[in-house]
Structure 1
Amino acid sequence: MAVPAPDPRAVREASLDELARLGLPLPPVQFPLVWEPGDEIELRPTAEIEARIAVLHLILARCFGMPPQAAMSWLLTSHLMETVTPPEWQFVTGGKGDHRSFVLHHDALFALAWVLGLTKQLDPTLPVDERLVERMPNIAAGETFGRWRSRVLAAPQHPADAAALLDLHYCLDWAYLEVERAGRVPPGLVDANAIGQRRWALEWAVILRGPYHDEPPGWEEVDLST
């Protein structure tokens, strides 16, 4: 359900305070807001986010040796075939595509897990929680998507909290790339790729409603160019 978006300027000020605390460069004054006053926000349906988490988890299993036939069988049994994007399908069935880029989705999965309350924090200085795998479908043991959903019992974040974290990662994405271009070492234990993946997930999961927003993008349509 859509709710009024928080004051975008107050959220941005908090994001910039966090960048300053981390010793990161601040974006220029004209750096755009993610939403405008009067906009509304909501999260994608929980079942849709859960399906995306499951597919990303399966993609990672393929990255680390799961046979394609076993992966396709799990998707079929879990009724998730229609949620797989064309690039993902090519990778699942034939290993085609950029293997490294699929491995990086580990951080996107982490951010989506935070959105559903499956992990407690999404600290930009810390890597993916090692215990996250315990909250994912146990594909090797044959746990289907439906059984996994019953086991984890998602508790989605409030849309305003997710939107605030999206704004922070919008700013962090710019700052980490600037640090990388300058040849500096970023704070903490993650790099610009990880921040970009987390932003990707948040951009997809948080739906913005207002006169300047298009319809929510598909997973492969998320725009990270700005």
Structure 2
Amino acid sequence: MAVPAPDPHAVRSANIDELRRLRLPVPPAEFPLVWEPGDEVELRPTRELEARTAVLQLILARCFGMSPSAAMSWLLASHLVESLTPPEWQFVTGSVGDHRSFVLHHDAVFALSWVLGLTKHLDPTEPTDPRLLEVLPHIAAGETLRQWRSRTLAAPRDAAEAAVLLDYHYCLDWAFLEAEQAGIPLPGLVDANAIGQRRWALEWAVIFRGPYHDPPGGWEEVDLST
């Protein structure tokens, strides 16, 4: 259910303060807001969030040695064949695509797990929580989506809280890229690629309602160009 989005100007000011605390470059004054005053925000349905998390986890399993036939068997058992995007389908079934870019989805899974309440933090200075694997689908062991859902009780975050973190990662994405280009030390063990993946997941998971927002798009339609 959509709820009023927080004040975007207050959120942006607080997030800029966080960038300064991390000694990162800050975006220019004209850097766009993610939403406008008066907009509403909601999360995608929990089952959709869980399905996307499981699909990305399957892609990672393929990256690390799972066979195409085993991956297809899991997809069929989990009723998720239609949840793959065309590039994901080509990679899962035929290893077509950039293996390195698919490996980076590890951080997108981390962000989606935060949205689902499966991990406590999404710290831009820290890698993914090492305990996260325990609460994700055990795909190599054959755990289906249904079995995972029955084992793990998702408790999705408040939509307004997720919006704040999305704006933070929108700013972080710009700041990390600027820092890397300028040779400025990053504040921890996370690089711009990881921040970009986390932002991708949050951009997809968080839906805004208002006069300047398009209907929610698919995973491959997320725009990270700004």
Asked whether the two chains share a fold, i.e. TM above 0.5, the reply is: yes
1:130, distance to aligned residue in structure 2 (A): 1.0
TM-score (norm 1): 0.99
Distance in 1 (CA, whole Å) between partners of 2:185 and 2:82 is 41
Distance in 2 (CA, whole Å) between partners of 1:103 and 1:128 is 13
Q: Secondary structure at the match of 1:38?
A: coil
Q: Which residue of 1 aligns with 2:132?
A: 132
Distance in 1 (CA, whole Å) between partners of 2:217 and 2:91 is 21
How many correspondences in the alignment? 226
Q: Secondary structure at the match of 1:208?
A: strand
Q: Percent identity?
A: 77
Distance in 2 (CA, whole Å) between partners of 1:25 and 1:217 is 30
1:59 and 2:59 correspond: yes
Distance in 1 (CA, whole Å) between partners of 2:67 and 2:183 is 39
1:184, distance to aligned residue in structure 2 (A): 2.3
Gaps of 5+ in 1: none
Distance in 2 (CA, whole Å) between partners of 1:138 and 1:103 is 17
Distance in 1 (CA, whole Å) between partners of 2:175 and 2:104 is 19
Gaps of 5+ in 2: none
TM-score (norm 2): 0.99
Q: Which residue of 2 aligns with 1:178?
A: 178
Please say which of residues 131-140 and 101-110 is displaced more in the overlay. 131-140
Distance in 2 (CA, whole Å) between partners of 1:81 and 1:179 is 40
Q: Which residue of 1 aligns with 2:36?
A: 36
1:206 and 2:206 correspond: yes
Q: Which residue of 2 aligns with 1:107?
A: 107
Letter in 2 for 1:101: S
Within 5 Å, give how 1:7-86 maps onto structure 2.
7-86=7-86
Q: Secondary structure at the match of 2:42?
A: strand
1:141, distance to aligned residue in structure 2 (A): 1.8
Q: Secondary structure at the match of 2:208?
A: strand
Distance in 2 (CA, whole Å) between partners of 1:91 and 1:15 is 37
1:18, distance to aligned residue in structure 2 (A): 0.6
Distance in 2 (CA, whole Å) between partners of 1:99 and 1:117 is 28
Q: Secondary structure at the match of 1:130?
A: coil
Q: Which residue of 2 aligns with 1:220?
A: 220
Q: Secondary structure at the match of 2:104?
A: helix
Distance in 2 (CA, whole Å) between partners of 1:202 and 1:141 is 28
Is this contact kept in 1: 2:61–2:140, CA < 8 A?
A: no
Distance in 2 (CA, whole Å) between partners of 1:63 and 1:168 is 29
Distance in 1 (CA, whole Å) between partners of 2:150 and 2:15 is 35
Letter in 1 for 2:25: P
Is this contact kept in 1: 2:125–2:190, CA < 8 A?
A: yes
Distance in 1 (CA, whole Å) between partners of 2:40 and 2:184 is 38
1:124, distance to aligned residue in structure 2 (A): 0.4
Q: Secondary structure at the match of 1:156?
A: coil
Letter in 2 for 1:132: L
Distance in 2 (CA, whole Å) between partners of 1:149 and 1:109 is 16
